[in-house]
Amino acid sequence: MSLPYSTEKEHAYQAIVRAAALCQAVQADMIKPTAAEKADRSPVTVADYASQAIICKELADTFPNDSVVAEEASEGLRARDQNQMLSQVTHYVQTQLPEATSDDVCDWIDRGGADSGQRFWTLDPIDGTKGFLRGEQYAVALALIVDGQVQVGALACPNLPLDLDHPDGSRGVIFLAVRGQGAEMLLLPKGDQSVNDPNSATPISVASLSDPSAARFVESVESGHANHAAHESLAHSLGITQPSVRLDSQAKYGAVARGDAAIYLRLPSPKSPNYRERIWDHAAGVLIIEEAGGRVTDALGAELDFSQGRKLEKNRGIVASNGHLHSAILNAITLEE
């Protein structure tokens, strides 16, 4: 008898591996990846659109009754002045789906515009677009949410070193988790390598340390929606002397889940008091840390509520840890408020 969600895990894995390969091809072909501007002025690349199209097509074929809540929409691509970008997106999708037309591509992208429901997938086709543009960290992030709870999480991190302490070593990993079944990591296939069986992955676990002063923490590179000054102050309160490691994307969740760091901080920025996190920026990573033995809450200690639509409307900020340090972190945040 197969384990619960084994089919969903396998197809999530297959989808993000294919999308990651596409993203790597875009990077290899485009020295400075073409970027446009969305309404919120964040960069969006050919790879974002193509990745979303590939994954939404996979989900539509395999789980036709499941809706998808994703970051991108094809409206901008369909504009007359975006014909060149649409042509590029279609070209990259055709490297994996040769019969795809531009209309197909737009339709697949727009499958990500559904509302959340009892069971749905949430997708960030490139989490950390700015990291992607810089040639640094980004992730393809996919998660299945059922009754408001993340049940399957899959992250492809093409540029993440196997060991953060050896950044010049091998790069490219996949993180997988199913609720109640633990978290795992395996190598991202390279080039013409065959896709590995996700069941061959290696179990991972968070760091075992219980002394916060010995901890290393990760945080976002960008400060738009996080408070770097508050992170530094909190680290000082906990006696942490190691400098933070700044990474784009949900690669930070992977780093905590496998023990490279013990804390991930994303405290609310006073510049954006009404900002609420998007679910696709956290769902997969949250489950991966929890299944690796860690804990994730908001800055006030509340569990993250993925039942509120496209945003974490009831939560403020993110605190992820190895679990042993979580109470100390939350107490220190309370002291500073």
In angstroms, rounded to a whole number, what is the distance separating the alpha carbons of residues 100 and 113?
20
* The pLDDT value given to residue 1: 67
* pTM, entire model: 0.94
* The pLDDT value given to residue 334: 57
* The pLDDT value given to residue 206: 98
Q: How far is CA 223 from CA 147, 299, 312, 318, in A?
A: 32, 17, 19, 14
pLDDT averages per 10-residue partition of the chain, 337 residues: 92 97 90 68 82 98 97 91 93 97 97 94 95 93 97 98 90 97 94 60 96 94 82 93 94 97 92 89 98 97 96 96 97 65
Helix residue ranges, H only, 113-181:
129-134
* The pLDDT value given to residue 160: 97
Give the pLDDT confidence of 88-108 residue by residue, as tens digits: 999 999 999 999 999 999 999
* The pLDDT value given to residue 271: 79
For residue 78, give both structure tokens: 């369909």
Active-site positions read 48, 129
What is the DSSP code string of 214-251?
A: G--EEE-S--SSS-HHHHHHHHHHTT--SPPEE--TTH
What is the DSSP code string of 38-103?
A: -TT--EEEHHHHHHHHHHHHHHHHH-TT-EEEES--SHHHHSGGGHHHHHHHHHHHHTT-TT--HH
In angstroms, rounded to a whole number, what is the distance separating the alpha carbons of residues 134 and 50?
19
In angstroms, rounded to a whole number, what is the distance separating the alpha carbons of residues 28 and 10?
27
* The pLDDT value given to residue 40: 64
In angstroms, rounded to a whole number, what is the distance separating the alpha carbons of residues 256 and 272?
26
CA dihedral of 165, 170, 171, 176, whole degrees rounded to 10: -90
